[in-house]
Structure 1
Amino acid sequence: MITNEQLIAYARKAMENAYVPYSKFHVGAALLTKSGQVYTGCNVEIASFGATNCAERTAVWKAVSEAGGLEIAKIAITSDEPDYIYPCGICRQVLAEFADDEMEIIVTKRNGEYKTVRFGDVLPNAFRRF
């Protein structure tokens, strides 16, 4: 299994591709599936902000479109901001579709510091299909 540091490196690499002409808020994500595959994503902004997509959802969409079923073991999220960032509400709900409460979310700071939180702690009592 890959380390947290390696997963963060994948997320930082993905962040380089962020298309953020409006907010200048670069975000990268890398998710690790329970089968050991890594999928990355960056945020993509569109002039019509409702069509914008977050890095976490981009990684999930790629995983589903490339591998079909998905069970997320952990996800690393990084940005160019000085403090930790967490998934937005929509991303939390998307992650709930493919992760259990024990999934690890690795959040980072620009300076390289990181911490890990349980998914169940950032979205308690998640709405799920079962």
Structure 2
Amino acid sequence: MSDPQAPLDAPLDAPLDALVAAAGVAMAKAYAPYSRFPVGAAILGGSGRIHAGANVENAAYPQGQCAEASAIGAMVLAGDRHIRAVVVMGGQPGDGRLCTPCGGCRQRLREFAKPDTPIHVCGPDGLRRTFTLEELLPHSFGPDNLDF
């Protein structure tokens, strides 16, 4: 583990394959009985620790929670407040389609991540594409827009 006070631009402690593995484990534990579309997410926090989450559906559909929101909650609970990298995993092996964060999760990620934060989009078969948060949420509104 890295020093919790390490600069956010320091080299990543966890290689991408560790984030992908954590997202895969989370995806396997997702609760998705209605959509049958499990999603896992893994976040590399500012401390160097990995925080994972899975989507959790609910019969009252709007009450479900995305994998990214679950991972952010785990990250905050663990004391991290900065996102250095994200992996989102969904879909079927070999289908090639991208499971990018929804609009709400893009904004949730923006609360803790910088525009150049890498968002790695994976399927069960591995990495499909990498974006920056700025590419997924251009001209975003975040904490730095507020004068506090």
* TM-score (normalizing by structure 1): 0.93
- Cα offset for 1:63? 1.0
Tell me the distance in 2 between the aligned counterparts of 1:71 and 1:99: 6
Structure with max Cα Rg? 2
Aligned pair count?
129
Alignment of 1:3-14 (within 5 A): 3-14=15-26
Q: How far, CA to CA, are the matches of 1:8 and 1:111 in structure 2? A: 10
Looking at structure 2, the residues matched to 43 and 6 of structure 1 have their Cα atoms a distance apart, in angstroms, of 20
Which residue is 2:83 aligned to?
72
SS in 1 for 2:143: coil
Alignment partners' CA distance in 2, 1:94 and 1:126:
11
In structure 1, the gaps of 5 or more residues are none
Match of 1:31 in 2: 43
Deviation at 1:87, TM superposition (A): 0.2
1:55 and 1:127 mapped to 2: Cα distance?
A: 22
Deviation at 1:109, TM superposition (A): 2.7
Q: Could you tell me which residue of structure 2 aligns to residue 95 of structure 1?
A: 109
Give unmatched runs, 5+ long, in structure 2.
Answer: 1-12
Percent identity of equivalent pairs? 36
RMSD: 1.2
Distance in structure 2 (CA, Å) of the matches to 1:113 and 1:7? 11
Runs of 4+ more than 6 Å apart:
none
Structure-1 separation of matches of 2:104 and 2:82? 18
CA positional deviation for 1:123: 0.3
TM-score w.r.t. the length of structure 2 is: 0.83
**Offset of 1:54 from its aligned partner?**
0.3
Deviations 1:68-106 (A, max 9, x none): x51000000101332221000000010010000011100
